[in-house]
């Protein structure tokens, strides 16, 4: 038997605000709160096909690039339209040395956590 990825935990300064951002990006909803942490996930909740995201409060400032980042793919529009939607939600472009010919866009959430918007559209979860 193998394990399945069930949740990702992201330390952040403002879990409430970041939960709002990521719920809008992923179409997730708030699943619960505990000790200042906010768990968000798909409608079916924890244990479904998509992992939940736990936004955990941390007073420590991040000083380096995260060793892990999220990649997201559009589900109901093309990449250019989804890029504009993410920018309108509060994401910002980040230059990490990518080339103009790369098929993805590097962005950061409102707290500066990098993530990539991929080109390929996938079916909603």
Of 21, 37, 59, which one is at a domain's C-terminal end?
A: 59
Q: Is residue 106 within 8 Å of residue 91, measured between CB atoms?
A: no
Distance in angstroms (rounded) separating the CA atoms of residues 30 and 60:
24
Give the count of alpha carbons within 13 A of 96, CB side only: 18
**What is the tally of structural domains in the chain?**
2
**CA distance linking residue 75 with residue 81, whole number of Å:** 11
pLDDT tens for the chain, 125 residues: list them.
688 899 999 999 999 999 999 999 999 999 999 999 999 999 999 988 899 999 999 988 777 777 889 999 999 999 999 999 999 999 999 998 889 889 999 999 999 999 999 999 998 87
Domain of residue 117, residue span: 68-125
Residues 93, 48 share a domain: no
């Amino acid at each position: 038997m193998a394990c399945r990825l069930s949740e990702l935990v992201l330390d952040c300064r403002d879990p409430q605000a970041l939960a709002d951002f990521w719920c809008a990006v992923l179409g997730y909803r708030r699943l619960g709160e505990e000790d200042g942490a906010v768990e968000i996930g798909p409608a079916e909740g924890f244990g479904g096909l998509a992992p939940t995201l736990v936004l955990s409060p941390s007073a420590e400032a991040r000083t380096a690039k995260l060793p892990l980042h999220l990649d997201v793919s559009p589900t109901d529009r093309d990449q250019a339209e989804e890029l504009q939607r993410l920018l309108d939600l509060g994401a910002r472009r980040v230059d990490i040395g990518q080339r103009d010919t790369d098929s993805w866009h590097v962005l950061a959430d409102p707290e500066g956590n990098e993530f990539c918007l991929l080109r390929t559209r996938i079916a909603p979860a």
